[in-house]
Structure formats: structure tokens, C-alpha cells
Structure 1
Amino acid sequence: MWVTTATIEAVALVALVVVLGPVLGLFDLRWWMITPLVLLDATYVAVVPAWRYRVHRWEVTETAVYTQTGWWSRERRVAPMSRIQTVDWNQGPVERLFGLANVTVTTASAAGALSVAGLDRRTAEQLVAELTEKADAVAGDAT
């Protein structure tokens, strides 16, 4: 999924430069102008999905949800079950293509929701059900 998304982004960027550059009169398009962009995009497609896979992590315990994200700097977040307000899953077009889904855990935190991306759809549905059950079992008002 991440490779496909990165490829779509890279192709869109090249298409944007190829179409908008000459149309807006910014420059006369030459092949040597596109080559560095294509090489940069190819590097992006080769590196970014693997990097995301190595960095992004999540875990659910009896007491909390843990996530880890980040590119240059890592962010680790913990959402205690007592702070969970809603648990949702969604699918964009690329996720649907691969049978994947994303789970979003909304808490009372000012830092915003925790997200777990690229889960198998069945796993995402089970995670939503599990977190909903666990959060409901904890006393408190999630504030």
C-alpha cells in the first residue's frame, strides 16, 4: 500500500511539472530538466515505504494503546483505555484496493488522535471491537 501511494504521489508530481511548467510559461520543458525529478521520485518510492514500515509500530495492552510514528524524529504515544473516547476505522481508495484499513483512536488529549495505518481489514475491525470493549470496561468518562 505504501509503495503504491508513494508511486502515485511521484507520478503526480512529475505530471504536474510536465503539464504546468510549459502551460504556465515557467520554462520550456527539456528532458534533462525532468531526469533529476524522476531520479528523486524513484528514490522516494524506494526509500519512504520501507522507512515507514521499519518505524511505524502499534500495540494494545489491557491498560493502553501504544503507537510509534515519525520520519526524522520519532513520536511515541500512549493512550490509556480510560482516555479513549472513540475508535473508528476507515478505508481510502488505495486501502480498499489492497483490502486494508486504518484505525483512529480519539482521546481527550490535546495532541490529537492516535492512528494505526495499513492494517488488514479484518484485523482493523477486530482492533476496533477490542478497543471499544476494553475502553467501555474501564471506569471513567474519558476526559
Structure 2
Amino acid sequence: MLADPAWRPDSRAQLLWGTELVLSWLLPVIGFAVWVVLDDGRRGLQAVVGTVLVILIVATVAVIPMWRYSVHRWEITDEAVYTRVGWLTQESRVAPISRVQTVDIERGPLDRAFGLATVTVTTASSAGAVPIAGLDLPVAEDAVARLTRIAALHRGDAT
């Protein structure tokens, strides 16, 4: 059995994920508001739909970021990069250092607003890159530097 990676994302990742969820609900909320303004003959149905919409928004924004935070883990050792991600479905990945091809830091506008970053480890694997999301920027920079040092010691061709 695979041991759990040791480190969690930064606690601000919960705020980032919550903000992303709020933004994802904007279009449905705008659509609902337009319906309410343009169709005043279905107030009962609109009340039901509005109530369901509010319940779904509150539930997803309140639960999913905490749940993701409780699951997400990462660790870098001299042998491999370990991650566990997900909330409904969970995925554990192990990327051997000898398979590492590139290591990148990604920071979108929301990441920058919260002082966070995602480290993406690209490997010679059909499973794709291994992202480590929600890291404090200095932690992400240290992780990239460490991975670069470790990978330099394993001068394989990463194929």
C-alpha cells in the first residue's frame, strides 16, 4: 500500500478553491436573475429553483474546498514525487525522479491574488504531468529548486 504523502497545500488553497467555485456559479446565477426579471408568471417555480440554487452554491462552496484540502497531499523525496488529489474520486501518483523531464511553476490571476502557485512536474509518462496545487509561492520555489537539484543527480534521459 502506498503511504500518504507528508505535506498539505497551503491553507489559503481552501480560499482559492472556494473563490473558483463562486466564480463558476456566476453564469447560472446570472441566468436565473434574467429569468426572474423577464418571466414574472412563474414566481412559485422561480422560488423553488432559487432555493435549490442557493443550497447548491452554499453546499459546494462550503464543503468542496475543505474536503479537497483534507485529501490533497504532496511530497518530494530523493526517489520520487508523490501526490494525492481529488475529492469525490481520489488519485495517488508516484513520479520517479528518473522520469522527470521538466518542473514548472504556474500562477494564474487568482493564485497570484492569494500568494499561491502550482508546481507541475512533467514526466516521461502517458499519465501526464503531476500537478502540486495550492502551494505558498516560496514553498513552490523551494520545491522546484529541490527537484532540479535531485533530478540533476539522476542524469537519465527521462524516457
TM-score where L is the length of structure 1: 0.88
* Structure 1 residues without counterparts, runs of 5 or longer: none
- Which SS does the other structure have where 2:25 is aligned? helix
Distance apart, 1:2 and its partner CA: 1.6
Aligned residue among 72, 93, 105 for 2:88: 72
CA distance in 2, matches of 1:84, 1:38: 44
Q: Does 1:117 align with 2:126?
A: no
Change (3 A) 1:37 1:141: same
CA distance in 2, matches of 1:136, 1:18: 56
Instruction: Say if 2:48 is the partner of 1:57.
Output: no
**Does the alignment pair 1:85 with 2:93?**
no
Q: Which stretch has the larger CA shift, 80-89 or 65-74?
A: 65-74
Deviation at 1:137, TM superposition (A): 1.3
CA contact (8 A) 1:84 1:108 kept: yes
- Establish whether residue 15 from structure 1 lines up as the match of residue 30 from structure 2: yes
Q: What one-letter code is carried by the residue in structure 1 that aligns with 2:18?
A: V
Specify the SS of the correspondent of 1:102: strand
Q: Indicate the SS of the match to 2:102.
A: strand
Q: Which residue is equivalent to 1:4?
A: 19
Question: Which amino acid is 2:61 matched to?
Answer: V
TM-aligned CA deviation for residue 74 of structure 1: 1.9
Question: What is the identity, as a one-letter code, of the residue corresponding to 2:133?
Answer: A
Residues 1:95 and 2:111 are matched in the alignment: yes
The one-letter code matched in structure 2 to 1:7 is V
Q: 2:49 aligns with which of 22, 28, 33?
A: 33
Give the C-alpha shift of residue 7 in structure 1: 2.0
In the alignment, the residues of structure 2 paired with residue 67 and residue 81 of structure 1 have an alpha-carbon distance, to the nearest angstrom, of 13
| Superimposed CA distance per residue, residues 62-120 of structure 1 (whole angstroms, 9 cap, x where no aligned partner) | 11000001223321110111000000011111111111111100001100000011110
Tell me, yes or no, if the aligned pair for 1:10 and 1:45 is still in contact at 8 Å: no
Share of identical aligned residues, percent? 51
- Name the Cα RMSD after superposition: 2.1
Q: C-alpha offsets along residues 38-63 of structure 1, whole Å, 9 cap, x if unaligned?
A: 11111000110001001111001111
Between the aligned partners of 1:24 and 1:7, the Cα distance in structure 2 is: 24
The count of residues paired between Structure 1 and Structure 2 equals 141
Contact 1:52/1:71 (<8 A) preserved = yes
